[in-house]
Amino acid sequence: MRILLFGPPGVGKGTQAQLLTEKYDMVRLSSGDLLREEVSLSSPIGKKVEQFLRKGHLVPDDIIYELVDSFLLENKESDILFDGFPRNLNQARSLEKSLAQLGQTIDIAFEMYLDEEDLIKRLTDRRYCPKCGRIYNSTTNPPKTEGICDVDRVKLSRREDDNPDVIKRRLTIYKDETRPLVNYYKSLNIYRRIDAKGNQEEVLGRISEAVNGHIDNKCRSN
Ligand code: AMP
């Protein structure tokens, strides 16, 4: 199964991706996480992309393809959840091609949506564990002890790009570059829209309903 999550920054893709991969035993491809890892390793790719991430601009497609294609090859036997990739139409077409070479297709493309005021609040309140990557939010998903990861007991951090100016830029880039994916995936008949309001279990319930329906249909047609 190949599932894709897209939506504006702050909509909760990362949180849902974490929950879905556990629930359906999938591997997760988060292009943002792959890029942040390169930056933290100060690798040649990391050095090239650091400024793009800091400013909230999209990283050039060829760098993304390099990371994604090697991930796809390493994980060709696994069910994959794509989180934050593709981010534009060229990336979407490239993903189709790369999957086709492996004899695979995307099963469902979920667009998560939320109004802008809630997005900005979620991004402003977002924290993450630098050790395990778990995502917290002081209002919607607080840790048991303020500022500390429930699992690793280390101090939570704030992403450098979760600041007001960069948040604005990322939202604009989303509207201009990523939202056109809606029509693209509608035309492929795999588009589903998910209301991201509410707590993480409610949102997970909405996505799971669609995934379970898809799995049932697949079983029936086999
Ligand atoms: P995310 O963790 O998905 O919010 O991504 C954080 C940042 O990484 C974005 O603001 C971009 O700078 C970069 N990024 C992540 N995924 C992509 C992608 N598929 N294409 C281009 N840039 C990306």
In a domain, 127, yes or no: no
In a domain, 140, yes or no: no
pLDDT tens for each residue of the chain, 222 residues long: 999 999 999 999 999 999 999 999 999 999 999 999 999 999 999 999 999 999 999 999 999 999 999 999 999 899 999 999 999 999 999 999 999 999 999 999 999 999 999 999 999 999 999 999 889 998 888 999 999 999 999 999 999 889 989 999 999 999 999 999 999 999 999 999 999 999 899 999 999 999 999 988 888 887
Name the residue range of residue 86's domain: 2-115+165-221
Rounded distance from Cα 30 to ligand 1 centre (Å): 9
Q: Is 6 in the pocket of ligand 1 (CB under 6 A)?
A: no
What is the CATH number for 194?
A: 3.40.50.300
Residue nearest ligand 1's atom 12 by CA: 53
In a domain, 143, yes or no: no
Give the pTM. Answer: 0.91
Q: Is 35 in the pocket of ligand 1 (CB under 6 A)?
A: yes
What pLDDT shows up at residue 217?
85
What pLDDT shows up at residue 219?
84
In a domain, 105, yes or no: yes
What pLDDT shows up at residue 31?
95
In a domain, 138, yes or no: no
By the 8 A CB rule, do 4 and 82 touch? yes
In a domain, 148, yes or no: no
How many distinct structural domains can be found in the chain?
A: 1
Rounded distance from Cα 32 to ligand 1 centre (Å): 5
CA distance 7 to 75: 24
| 126, 51, 18, 120 alpha-carbon torsion, rounded to 10° | 30
Distances (CA, A) of 176 to 49, 87, 90, 194, 195: 21, 10, 13, 20, 21
In a domain, 194, yes or no: yes
Report the residue among 11, 59, 64 best suited for mutation to probe ligand 1: largest number of ligand atoms under 8 A from its CB: 59
Residue nearest ligand 1's atom 11 by CA: 58
In a domain, 25, yes or no: yes
